[in-house]
Every structure is written in structure tokens, then in C-alpha cells.
Structure 1
Amino acid sequence: MTKSLHSTRHVMIAKALADQRRLKGLSQTQVAKAMGRHQPFIANIESGQRRVDLVELLDIAAIIDLDVPALVKKIIDS
């Protein structure tokens, strides 16, 4: 198993977060501010420069209305 930040699974998570954020019409700054973070935090996750941990994923998902179980199923099934 690869430890790369750019594994297929990591790319799928980053893309899902970015796509859903855009779908909701939210900027990276708005999401970061809702989390008490700065915009580069979200930018680094979405660009694959930073991994997102489970708690952060759940926090971001709540803000952007991302269905985490559906995302996990998509990753498992891929």
C-alpha cells in the first residue's frame, strides 16, 4: 500500500471535497473560516498537498453537506 499523498484514494477524497464545496457555492475561505482555520488549510487539502484526517473530513463534510458514507462506498468500490 502506497503512502503517497497522491494515491488514488487521496485524490478521490480531495476531488470530492472540492467538487462538493463548489457545488454548494462556498469558497475555500468560507469553509476554512467556518472551521476556525485559514484558507490555505482547505487549499492544501483540495490540492493534495495535505491529507485530511477523519475528524477534519467530518467537520468539512458537515459544512459542505458531503455524504461521507457515500464517499467511502465510492472509494471502496473503485
Structure 2
Amino acid sequence: MPKSLHSERHVMIAKALADQRRLKGLTQTQVAKAMGRHQPFIANIESGERRIDLVELLDIGAIIDLDVEALVRRLRKPLSEK
């Protein structure tokens, strides 16, 4: 099993965050500022260089209007069903 930082599920999270942020017309800097962080924090999450914890996921999700519950349901499906 690959390390979770580079797992398919981690890639799905990073992609969902980046896609939704862009869909909302927000920059990484705007999202980071809303969280009291610097832009590299968001860049590192979206690029897969940094893991995101649940609280951060919920915080970013609220900022970018991401349905975190739907994302979790997709992550829980067996990989063969995705």
C-alpha cells in the first residue's frame, strides 16, 4: 500500500480542493488569508506535498463552499468503484 501522502485518495482530496477553489474564482492567497495562513500552505496541500487534517479540510471547505461530506463519501468507496 502506498504512503497516504501519495495515495489515490490523497490525490482526490487535493484535486477536489483545487478544482472547487478555482470554480469559486478564488486564489490560493485568498483562501490562505481567510485561514490566517500564507499562500504556500494552500499550494502545498493542492500539490500533494502536505497532508491536510480534518479540521483544515472543514475550514477550507467552508471557505470554498466544498461539500466535505460528499467528498468523504467518494473517498469511502472502494477504489475499484471510482
TM-score (norm. length: structure 2):
0.90
Unaligned segments of structure 1, at least 5 residues: none
CA distance in 1, matches of 2:67, 2:4: 25
Q: Relative to structure 1, is the Cα distance of residues 54 and 24 closer, same or farther in structure 2, using a 3 angstrom cutoff?
A: same
1:75 Cα deviation after fit:
1.2
Q: Which residue of 2 aligns with 1:54?
A: 54
CA distance in 1, matches of 2:36, 2:28: 12
1:41 Cα deviation after fit:
0.0
1:76 Cα deviation after fit:
1.4
- Structure 1 segments of 4 or more deviating over 6 A? none
- Bigger radius of gyration among the two: 2
Alignment-mate amino acid for residue 48 of structure 1 = G
What count of residue pairs does the alignment treat as equivalent?
78
Alignment-mate amino acid for residue 60 of structure 2 = I
Percent identity, aligned pairs only, is 83
Unaligned segments of structure 2, at least 5 residues: none
Q: Which residue of 2 aligns with 1:64?
A: 64
